Amino acid sequence: MSVSLIILAAGQGSRMQSDLPKVLHPLGATPLVLHALRAGRVLDPEHVIVVVGHGGAAVAKVIAAEDDRVQIVTQTEQLGTAHAVEQARAALDGVGGDVVVLYGDTPFIRAETLQAMQAARAVHDVVVLGFEAADPGRYGRLVAQGDALERIVEFKDATAAERAISLCNSGVICADRATLFDLIAAVGNDNAAGEYYLTDIVALARERGLSAGVVRCDEAETLGINTRTELAEAETRFQARMRAEALENGVTLSAPETVYFAQDTYLGRDAVVEQFVVFGPGVTVESGATVRAFSHLEGCHVSRGAVVGPYARLRPGAELAEDVRIGNFVEVKNAQIDEGAKVNHLSYVGDATIGPRANLGAGTVTCNYDGVFKHRTEIGEGAFIGSSTMLVAPVRVGAQALIGSGSVITSDVPDEALALGRGRQETKPGLGKRLMDRLRAAKAAQAKG
């Protein structure tokens, strides 16, 4: 059965008190709306439609950067959740299979839950995701007999008896595409909010002799973000979940509560992550690699056996092959570091290719930026770069070449050559002591007079 996804992301989120659209606020270094999108991907959707409104252009840009097959439709006026889904009608015209509706501000829905909903479609025409709320607050209430759903009543429209129901609507629904849009066409806005409620499709389905059912999930999964406080709480929860998952997957975390993950952080089995490490988006650390304390990684790949840090910074495009060493106070950006190469102390390596087993001494810098353009540095296999060398790109150092410490290298160095680019040393025998004696004598004369 094929599935399409509709993600509702048009709301203003006024309670965030922000110029940034709510669904672009980050959770685990990833905009909220991408959490919903990535969760929905497990269903292998044929079409994905995101309904945008407030800040629509900005939301569309983030979505396009993630996946250019996603279609964006605009809901100019926010007249309710049914009206929002209605905006996707044309984009899904004639498409077969089911539609799953997700909210852009509800980031914790699990893959297994969406799969359970899809499975429940074998039994029910309309499937709604519900949860037992500790505090049902203003959620829509599910009027159900066991798993059979009769209708959903919004808090504002509910009687005291209905408000006493603790089984609540998460907002996630699943139905056949044609059925869903038929039902939505019949939804009116004669209710306390004057909105077109998507939730009305349940009662409409039942009137037509169709069946509706509820799939239950843990309340934590349906947590929606409406305020900065909720976002901060969600971040805490998200980090706790990522740490637990890493530990379950066989990662060593020396102090789990000090390690911060992004939504897509991947750590292989037997990877070791020490204290106070921060992962930004797009990091893969393979099995058996070690990230030592106080390191910051984003958009990079660390292969087996590599050791990073302590105090290292890997920026986007850092590609570390097996057994690489990146040591303290080293920054790597957009650079391929080949197998067994070492950059152990106080270096900047940007826009570079470092050959296998090359060694960059302390304080080596690739001078990649001329103020306008970026240039590349290439270092061959087994080359040895002396400490405090400035490599002024574009420049190439050949395999097995040797660069004298303190050099400023501005032109290419052939394979196996020695290059020195610095002032020649002058040594004057005895002069050091004579100078010091003169200075000390001057100080003694000053103290007397």
Show contacts with ligand UD1 in window 207-236 (CB under 6 A): 224
Residue nearest to ligand UD1 (CB): 140
Asked whether the beta carbons of 67 and 37 are under 8 A apart, the reply is: yes
Do 361 and 337 touch, CB atoms closer than 8 A?
no
Q: Is the Cβ of residue 197 or residue 279 nearer to ligand UD1 in the bound state?
A: 197
Examine residue 11 and tell whether it contacts ligand UD1 (CB under 6 A): yes
What's the min distance (Å) between Cβ of 10 and ligand UD1?
Answer: 3
Which CB contacts under 8 angstroms, 24+ apart, belong to 267-271?
268/304
Tokens of 327: 């040591």
Q: Closest distance between ligand UD1 and the C-beta of residue 101, in Å?
A: 9
Taking the least distance from each CB to ligand UD1, the nearer of 107 and 382 is: 107
Site of tokens 């905009």: 31
Cβ proximity to ligand UD1, 170 vs 347, nearer residue:
170
Binders of ligand UD1 in range 361-390 (CB under 6 A): none
CB nearer to ligand UD1: give 168 or 215. Answer: 168
- Asked if 263 and 34 touch (Cβ cutoff 8 Å), the reply is yes
- 158 φ/ψ sector (left φ>0, alpha ψ -120 to 50, else beta): beta
Compose the 134-153 pattern: x for residues touching ligand UD1 by CB under 6 A, - for all others: -----xx-----------x-
Q: Is there binding between residue 80 and ligand UD1 (CB under 6 A)?
A: yes
According to the binding rule CB under 6 A, does residue 173 interact with ligand UD1?
no
Instruction: Kindly write down the DSSP assignment for every residue of 423-441, as one continuous string.
Output: PPP---TTHHHHHHHHHHH
Residues sharing a CB contact under 8 Å with residue 146, sequence separation 6 or more, in sequence order: none
The letter for the amino acid at 243 is R
Select from 30, 113, 169, 303 the one that contacts ligand UD1 (CB under 6 A). Answer: 169
Residue type, 366: T
Shortest Å distance, C-beta 41 to ligand UD1: 18
Q: Does 131 bind ligand UD1 (CB under 6 A)?
A: no
Residue type at 314? Answer: L
Closest distance to ligand UD1 from the beta carbon of 76 (Å): 10
Decide: is 75 part of the binding site for ligand UD1 (CB under 6 A). Answer: yes
Partnered with residue 403 across adjacent β-strands are 385, 419
H or E element that contains 230? helix 228-248
Nearer to ligand UD1 by Cβ, of 169 and 265: the residue is 169
- Report the residue number, 44 or 77, with the smaller CB distance to ligand UD1: 77
Q: How far is the CB of 316 from ligand UD1 (least distance, A)?
A: 30
Q: Of the candidates 51, 92, 324, 391, which one interacts with ligand UD1 according to CB under 6 A?
A: 51
Integer Cα distance of 387 and 188 in angstroms: 74
**DSSP code at position 281:** S
Contacts with ligand UD1 in 322-361 (CB under 6 A)? none
Contact stretch for ligand UD1 (CB under 6 A) within 99-107, 230-238, 304-312, 319-327: 99-107
Please pick, among 47, 54, 345, 375, the residue that the annotation labels catalytic. 345
User: Is the Cβ of residue 127 or residue 289 nearer to ligand UD1 in the bound state?
Assistant: 127
Judged by CB under 6 A, which of 171, 213, 280, 380 binds ligand UD1?
171
- CB-CB contact of 210 with 125 (8 Å): yes
Q: Smallest distance from the beta carbon of 103 to ligand UD1, in angstroms? A: 4
Contact between 154 and ligand UD1 by CB under 6 A: the answer reads: yes
Sequence-separated (6 or more) residues with CB below 8 Å from residue 147: 120, 213, 214, 215
**Cβ contact 47:71 at 8 Å:** yes
What angle (nearest 5°) sits at the alpha carbon of residue 295, between those of residues 31 and 270? 90
Which one, 105 or 286, has the nearer CB to ligand UD1? 105
Options 115-123, 194-202, 278-286, 296-304: segment touching ligand UD1 (CB under 6 A) = 194-202
Look-up of token digits 């039994």: 123
CA distances from residue 16 to 7, 25, 225, 231 in whole angstroms, order as listed:
20, 9, 9, 9
3-state SS, residue 35: helix
Select from 368, 305, 377, 317 the least CA-distant residue to 342: 305
Active site residue 25: no
Q: Indicate whether 45 belongs to the interface with ligand UD1 (CB under 6 A).
A: no
Kindly list the catalytic residues: 345
Q: Which residues bind ligand UD1 (CB under 6 A)?
A: 8-11, 51, 53, 75, 78-81, 83-84, 103-105, 139-140, 152, 154, 168-171, 197-199, 224
